[in-house]
Structure 1
Amino acid sequence: MSKPAPPRLSIRHGRLIDPLHAVDTHADVHLADGRVVAIGAAPDGFQPERELDASGCLVVPGLIDLCARLREPGLERKATIRSETQAAAASGITSLCCPPDTDPVIDTPAVAQLIRQTAQRYGYARVLPAGSLTHGLAGTQLSEMAALKHAGCPVLSHADRPIRNTRVQRRALEYAATFGMTCFLHPCDADLSDGGLVHEGRVSTRLGLPGIPEAAETVAVARDLALAEQTGARIHFRGLSTARATAMLAEARARGVAVTADVSAHQLFLTENDVDHFAANAYVLPPLRTESDRQALRAAVARGEITAICSDHQPHEDDAKQAPFPRIQPGISALETLLPLTLQLVTDGVLSLNQAIAMLTCQPAAILNSKRGHLAINARADVCVIDPNKIWILNEHTMRSRGLNTPFLNQELRGQVQWTILNGRVVFEQSPVQYC
């Protein structure tokens, strides 16, 4: 049975920010049939079925997250597509890209279609599966990239598993280029990082933990940039973490290499010091680096060399973070901190408000070669309404994700989603009851 048409909605009295079209103004937005039909005055004869009062709020395109693990299929004990897309909707995220390291791996059209159809059935957020560059993420045999593209995979990826064989990496980039598909690459040399847990430096030495050197990232960046130039492929570095890598990125972009990059929001706020005392919720890969790396990442974001901020969401069950440090699992539950942390960059003077919104909307859309991420007339009605001044506490009551593994737990955050609209339907609205 087909769904009824989306209702006619009017979002009144909000501050409309559409970075793609350099719009920043107070204007009403009118939606019908899943599209933006008017900005400002309503069309003649338009009668909304519902009006949302966005007084004091920002009205922006639905957020786009370039990396969020939903744990389904294969790891449903940690989370599910339903639970995590609900969390995404509560976080203003209308589209998210999931890496291919599910079980089974997203290396066939059947798995890609399963994920997309499951998300469509629940209807909270649009899930865009990244297809695997190689079969089984084994790094040996190339996947059927054309079939994956046809099945709805907008990009190709190898998750956080580097392809050790440079010849295979080259062939994968060449093959992807023939289909015009961007390759998401996690820059990490598998041999230099093997066995490492945290950044190689004074904290790793003091804790007696094996380290991952800066060179593990920069060696991989150098290799991937050389291969991108050789093959003409479009590559995207997923989750840079070091100052040197940002400098290499800027130099390559200045030479015209078809490369983009994002950074995980937590890398802009945390450092290796946050892992001190064996803090399990601050254990991530790539590892938290030095204060100078954090400042360099912020500078690269401010200069527009890094063009997207993502969550790198990795929800875990409690047991995954309660073992001795060498046996705990890396990752942060991060959907619900993506927006407030990005808005904090505005407060910190790193970005303007328009730049911050662009980092979460039109710029990740461009990386995905998507027409989403804006609110022009006839655009898809993916909208996020934000109270930028609302202060709330991230805790087990306010989090919708199944994973509570975040170093920001029980902290005050500023900026809260009031409504999320996907394809013209309200998929989340903030309850008037606030838990603390």
Structure 2
Amino acid sequence: MSTILIRGAKVLGGAAQDVLIEGAAVTRVGTGLSAEGAQVVEAEGQILLPGLVDLHTHLREPGREDSETVLTGTRAAAVGGYTAVHAMANTHPVADTAGVVEQVYRLGKESGYCDVQPVGAVTVGLEGKHLAELGAMHDSAAGVKVFSDDGKCVDDAVIMRRALEYVKAFDGVIAQHAQEPRLTEGAQMNEGVVSAELGLGGWPAVAEESIIARDVLLAAHVGSRLHVCHLSTAGSVEIVRWAKSKGWNVTAEVTPHHLLLTDELVRTYNPVYKVNPPLRTEADVLALREALADGTIDCVATDHAPHPHEDKDCEWGAAAMGMVGLETALSVVQETMVETGLLDWAGVADRMSFRPARIGRLAGHGRPVAAGEPANLVLVDPAYRGTVDPARFASRSRNTPYQGRELPGRVTHTFLRGRATVLDGKLA
């Protein structure tokens, strides 16, 4: 049994304390701790947080191993401070059966860098016509609790209602990619002044907001749990805020890139900025930050969407949508939320660990840094500032919108059940 003593870390950004890890658990938290033979990690000035949890990660395996695998994706997650990720269902074949989700779950176990919880598809083949094997996926070894057709919207209201009703039996959650398809045909970017000037097809805010409005009403009607993926507009914030004021069981996430970047970047025609939902306006960005701060938006989720070089290094219209995000998420949140005074580090722990683990019903993660709790932890040096270099990424893909940008903070250590997956900023 290994013993690790973290010395002098600011637990959740508070007072400096020592944390003793023995085996897979935290056994003591206090000051002046010692343990014979322990590996000592000097952490003065660093922030100790519970391991981060991502509700929205694309690991691409099976089927698109040219862009990412479960192994490379979980390595990237560990470097970013994550100890658990939810793997989305839009693989090839689609994760719409017990067999596929169990394969992804097994690959996660074999990787050893972070826990992988598969997300099951809502409909067969993500086609939106027939419900997938929701019960079988839940009863499988993977124990699926979150279901999503992410990448596509469950736009049929009857199918959506049936899905919400079905998962009530095991307290599951439907995570919706809110995009009315008929309002976004040919869409290339946010609909607005910039799209008009550039002559690119617009993705209107109402295409997101109309689906969210419908779905919160459906969730309330059947008494089920709804989670809104990658919320991106000020109007969507108001709908979710209204639904929560009614006491309805609705949660929402925001991506790091929607907290920082705007549609003005599309003027470069660089496809690295092409994403779904698209980058929105500065007003939307500010509304999203405020909503994350006040709890209307529950958590940050990366929507880590790796693509091979040839799918991004092309003309805008032909480029794939999506950005990698696991390795930069915490830095972006520090810049947009901590350094602006909107959240403290305890708030970061809440939005990036406690709440996403609770939404996903993920046991052993999103737990307090306290004696008797699993030692899923991350150490962050908040004083560090560095330039993003995708050549150094652990991910197999390099499609980051932050290349060459200076961002604050650096994950120095990540621990998964007491075992170091990252040491001094490098994979263990």
TM range (shorter): over 0.9
Pick from 356, 379, 384: which aligns with 1:385?
379
Name the CA shift for 1:47/1:135 in 2 (closer, same or farther; >3 Å).
farther
Percent of aligned positions with the same letter in both sequences? 33
Q: Give 3-state SS (helix, strand or coil) of 2:11's partner.
A: strand
Shift of 1:126: 0.8
CA distance in 2, matches of 1:216, 1:246: 14
Pick from 166, 170, 177: which aligns with 2:157?
166
Q: Deviations over 1:283-328 (max 9, x none)?
A: 1100111111111111111111001011111111111112221110
Pick from 26, 30, 43: which aligns with 1:36?
26
Shift of 1:41: 5.9
Q: Deviations over 1:253-283 (max 9, x none)?
A: 0110100101001001111101112121111
Q: Look up the match of 1:107.
A: 96
Q: Deviations over 1:20-50 (max 9, x none)?
A: xxxx32211111231111112699x954541
Q: Look up the match of 2:123.
A: 134
Shift of 1:160: 2.2
Pick from 15, 19, 37: which aligns with 1:25?
15
Stretch of structure 1 that moved more, 87-96 or 137-146? 137-146
Whether the aligned pair in 1 keeps the contact of 2:226 and 2:251 (CA below 8 Å) is yes
Q: Deviations over 1:189-235 (max 9, x none)?
A: 12111221111111111111111111101110111011101111101
Whether the aligned pair in 1 keeps the contact of 2:391 and 2:398 (CA below 8 Å) is no
Whether 1:352 and 2:347 are equivalent positions in the alignment is no
Aligned residue identity for 1:39: V
Whether 1:251 and 2:242 are equivalent positions in the alignment is yes
Whether the aligned pair in 1 keeps the contact of 2:305 and 2:325 (CA below 8 Å) is yes
Q: Give 3-state SS (helix, strand or coil) of 1:205's partner.
A: helix
Q: Look up the match of 1:219.
A: 210
Q: Give 3-state SS (helix, strand or coil) of 2:411's partner.
A: strand
Whether 1:203 and 2:194 are equivalent positions in the alignment is yes
Whether the aligned pair in 2 keeps the contact of 1:10 and 1:48 (CA below 8 Å) is no
Shift of 1:389: 0.6
Q: Look up the match of 1:361.
A: 353
Stretch of structure 1 that moved more, 423-432 or 68-77? 423-432
Aligned residue identity for 2:23: D
Whether the aligned pair in 2 keeps the contact of 1:57 and 1:386 (CA below 8 Å) is yes
Shift of 1:164: 2.6
CA distance in 1, matches of 2:340, 2:205: 26
Aligned residue identity for 2:17: A
CA distance in 2, matches of 1:113, 1:377: 32
Pick from 114, 127, 130: which aligns with 1:125?
114
Whether the aligned pair in 2 keeps the contact of 1:68 and 1:311 (CA below 8 Å) is yes
Q: Look up the match of 1:21.
A: none
Shift of 1:431: 5.3
Q: Give 3-state SS (helix, strand or coil) of 2:303's partner.
A: coil
Aligned residue identity for 2:411: V
CA distance in 1, matches of 2:334, 2:202: 32
* TM-score between both structures, scaled by the size of structure 1: 0.93
Q: Give 3-state SS (helix, strand or coil) of 1:159's partner.
A: coil
Aligned residue identity for 2:355: Q
Q: Give 3-state SS (helix, strand or coil) of 1:404's partner.
A: coil
Stretch of structure 1 that moved more, 364-373 or 412-421? 364-373
Q: Give 3-state SS (helix, strand or coil) of 2:289's partner.
A: helix
CA distance in 1, matches of 2:226, 2:36: 46
Q: Give 3-state SS (helix, strand or coil) of 2:152's partner.
A: coil
CA distance in 1, matches of 2:37, 2:270: 50
Aligned residue identity for 2:11: L
Shift of 1:94: 0.7
Whether 1:269 and 2:260 are equivalent positions in the alignment is yes
Stretch of structure 1 that moved more, 360-369 or 233-242? 360-369
| Paired positions, count | 422
Aligned residue identity for 1:220: I
CA distance in 2, matches of 1:274, 1:288: 8
Whether 1:373 and 2:357 are equivalent positions in the alignment is no
Pick from 69, 75, 79: which aligns with 1:80?
69
Q: What is the alpha-carbon root mean square deviation over aligned residues?
A: 1.8
Q: Give 3-state SS (helix, strand or coil) of 1:311's partner.
A: coil
Q: Give 3-state SS (helix, strand or coil) of 2:413's partner.
A: strand
Whether the aligned pair in 1 keeps the contact of 2:5 and 2:35 (CA below 8 Å) is no
Unpaired runs of at least 5, structure 1: 19-23
* TM-score between both structures, scaled by the size of structure 2: 0.95
Shift of 1:356: 2.0
Stretch of structure 1 that moved more, 57-66 or 393-402? 393-402
Whether the aligned pair in 2 keeps the contact of 1:391 and 1:412 (CA below 8 Å) is yes
- Alignment of structure 1 residues 51-90 onto 2, 5 Å: 51-90=40-79
- Alignment of structure 1 residues 223-372 onto 2, 5 Å: 223-344=214-335, 345-371=337-363, 372=365
CA distance in 1, matches of 2:361, 2:116: 15
Aligned residue identity for 2:76: A
CA distance in 2, matches of 1:40, 1:16: 10
Aligned residue identity for 2:237: T
Unpaired runs of at least 5, structure 2: none
Whether the aligned pair in 2 keeps the contact of 1:13 and 1:27 (CA below 8 Å) is yes
Whether the aligned pair in 1 keeps the contact of 2:79 and 2:425 (CA below 8 Å) is no
Q: Look up the match of 2:8.
A: 13
